[in-house]
Structure 1
């Protein structure tokens, strides 16, 4: 608890759909506006997906990312972290295309193949804004998110070795931490390793204090002092498990990708900045300090915003 807390904001993702919240950013203008507000509220890392500006469907088109990446970079010093996860219904090549084009400081990297079930959301709404939404959600009952060992090695080589990009290793269960430890032992990863504990996705570990303690003890045993961690808890668990992670010496991720609510009841969050400001207030009230973007770069040994391709 002596270090500073890195706050990550995940702006839009590929789980929630436009029907679920009018505040979910879709267009380049919306992404830019919400990203800058989240950075101003205290997020030192902005985790970014893109969407089709007409339909809101998750997009892996580099042009959709380039609609907001340069604009955000010009107006904030925050670290821009591009997803390589995309959605479970994209190919590996599609998922990697935006990051390969942008060569960012940081990318997310899911550390294994898994069932990624968001199909229960398909039954929560009756009137859909777009025709693609309900079939997209239902499809996850029969689709596996694929990141084999070969896929992971390809990403580490192409983006890590090839572009100087470092990673947010997304671990949805303890086996994913084992995979991180394997690649550390093989010399394909260099400390500091940044692990995102992802709790609450159907197909992964549940969002509970016990699960968070288990993931951290597993990482401590396997990785020792070679890693730092952050906590991402889906839905209503976002704020309480994020606060718990901060108390345990970790960092925190919030944002509309992970939860659409304010964190208190079911009231929709008006934007991403609202969640960032709320978790910042919580951690500062506990006597902890929030890292600036430059402090986050130093903590994670990032290459710097002047060495990206946008």
Structure 2
């Protein structure tokens, strides 16, 4: 089996600062936690930005550039910028920072979907910021929009124009069908890196049968020149990572996807999750890929070809 690509998603746009004091928000926190995650074994850092004053998800390129150059200088990890941002952002907003940074890699959600976060609001009694509770509760009427036209725009702007490769986030079987459609059109070219996403209310639930079905479907639709990675939200994170690694796949962890390190125990930082999944991977007889190996496996253009 190939070495395991460990991706660490540092902060995301789902969790809010009131949920964990360890969620990185400021540029200093992003740099410290990103560097530590890379040192623990993450070859890829999946990156969102936040307003350092309020902790709110941000699409502002200035918020990204406050930490991206420092991460690039302090680690060899692949810097993977989200084009998903937050479901409340427009496509132009979501693409502003990736277009400016021209990174080696971007994430790309392969469909429009419900993105329901509101059950999380019931678990919080003390709120740090006044935007958090309405943001979560309002997600019962929230749709993340990524139409075929939107997807084609991202593929052209980030792929054809800027040479980025993609982490194709697939929350359902229909997203694999859409990915195969763009592969047939020639807007996606192999090798294809698919991120199966489980446990988000609006997408697939985190059941092992769904993982097996997604792998079989990807085998049928995408052919042999693809690799899959797995992330599962919340308490399912490490169980699904172990399944993925055992099946020859790759793994994603990080505080974007889960705030815990064990039942009822908050992770002290992103590096703790990376270290735990590294132990799982190694106990299964595999090893983490280095950043250099990640670049070779995914056909990346190299850090020197970015604008970071």
Give TM-score, length-normalised by structure 2.
0.99
Structure 1 runs not aligned, ≥5 long: none
Give the structure 2 partner of residue 166 of structure 1.
Answer: 165
Give the structure 1 partner of residue 133 of structure 2.
Answer: 134
Provide the aligned C-alpha RMSD in A.
0.6
Structure 2 runs not aligned, ≥5 long: none
Deviations 1:40-76 (A, max 9, x none): 0000000000000000000000000000000000011
Question: Distance between the aligned counterparts of 1:243 and 1:191, measured in 2?
Answer: 26
Give the structure 1 partner of residue 273 of structure 2.
Answer: 275
Question: Distance between the aligned counterparts of 1:100 and 1:37, measured in 2?
Answer: 27
SS in structure 1 opposite 2:79?
A: strand
Contact residue 64 and residue 97 of structure 2 kept, 8 A: yes
Question: Distance between the aligned counterparts of 2:18 and 2:169, measured in 1?
Answer: 27
Which aligned pairs between 1:270-309 and structure 2 lie closer than 5 A? Answer: 270-309=268-307
2:254 maps to 1:255: yes
Give the structure 2 partner of residue 90 of structure 1.
Answer: 89
Question: Distance between the aligned counterparts of 1:98 and 1:207, measured in 2?
Answer: 31
Give the structure 1 partner of residue 73 of structure 2.
Answer: 74
Question: Distance between the aligned counterparts of 2:18 and 2:52, measured in 1?
Answer: 14
Question: Distance between the aligned counterparts of 1:234 and 1:76, measured in 2?
Answer: 26
Question: Distance between the aligned counterparts of 1:155 and 1:193, measured in 2?
Answer: 16
Contact residue 103 and residue 163 of structure 1 kept, 8 A: yes
Give TM-score, length-normalised by structure 1.
0.99
Q: Which runs of 4 or more aligned residues in structure 1 lie more than 3 Å from their structure 2 counterparts after TM superposition? A: none
Shift of 1:138: 1.3
Contact residue 88 and residue 140 of structure 1 kept, 8 A: no
Shift of 1:226: 2.1
2:186 maps to 1:187: yes
Give the structure 2 partner of residue 42 of structure 1.
Answer: 41
